[in-house]
Amino acid sequence: MIRVFIVAASPLIRAGLQSMLADSRVDIVGSASDLESISGQFVDAEPDVVLVEVSADTQEESLNTIEHAEIAREYPVVVLSEQIKSSSLSNALRAGVRAVLQCDVTPEQLLATLEAAVAGLVVVHPSELNAVLPAAVSSSAPVDELLEPLTRREREVLQMLASGLANKEIAARLAISDHTVKFHVASILGKLGASTRTEAVSVGIRRGLVLL
């Protein structure tokens, strides 16, 4: 069962989201009207995922709050908004938010998104892919070879980054230390010319280094 904490300014929207998630696989463990008041409630609620509804007018402000409060670093966060700006979507995913979806998602899509977020995956609606992925490279202009290719182990780590695994999870899967994982991640970022894990995955997809 997925333990969900809901954040939405409107009581009607909070009630509507609870109704959408009326499923035996979901347990609504709490709700709040704003992001500033939720940290103290998490100790008792212990959510698996945080569902945040934001208006189009406050989208950037709300996503900045999520980033600076490091909520997305501690809990999987799924954001719903009436209108998604491309820049806000990209910034949210870089900050660790697992999904930014439009409010007209179906109950089935919302539940699937929450399950994926808890599983460590990032969810993007097909209509928003152009906002987060680099433009396709023409076959007449092949991607340049890396000056220093990734090692077999670095390719393994990159694939796990693409699956949304944290360093500790990667370390456990590969039976190596957290320090070694950090070393591999730093090496991957350097070789791919990326500044974040998300950017490294995007570059890896473009270069055919990540299997989808």
Please give the tally of structural domains in the chain.
2
Residue 76 lies in a domain: yes
Query: Do residues 100 and 180 both lie within one domain?
Result: no
CA distance 54 to 129: 21
| Final residue before a domain boundary, out of 99, 132, 165 | 132
Q: CB–CB of 14/8 below 8 Å?
A: yes
Residue 167 lies in a domain: yes
Residue 139 lies in a domain: no
Query: Do residues 29 and 115 both lie within one domain?
Result: yes
Show the domain range for 185. Answer: 152-206
| Final residue before a domain boundary, out of 132, 160, 180 | 132
pLDDT at 15: 93
Instruction: List pLDDT tens digits, range 64-106.
Output: 777 776 677 788 889 888 767 666 677 777 777 888 888 888 8
- Amino acid in the structure at residue 73: R
Q: CB–CB of 80/103 below 8 Å?
A: yes
Query: Do residues 40 and 113 both lie within one domain?
Result: yes
Torsion-angle region of residue 193: left (phi > 0), alpha (psi -120 to 50) or beta? left
Residue 140 lies in a domain: no
Instruction: List pLDDT tens digits, range 154-205.
Output: 999 999 999 889 999 999 999 999 899 999 999 999 989 888 889 899 888 8
**Rg (the chain; Cα; Å):** 18
What's the CATH code of the domain at 26?
3.40.50.2300
- Amino acid in the structure at residue 95: A
Query: Do residues 128 and 164 both lie within one domain?
Result: no
Query: Do residues 127 and 159 both lie within one domain?
Result: no
**80 phi and psi, to 5 degrees?**
-115, 135
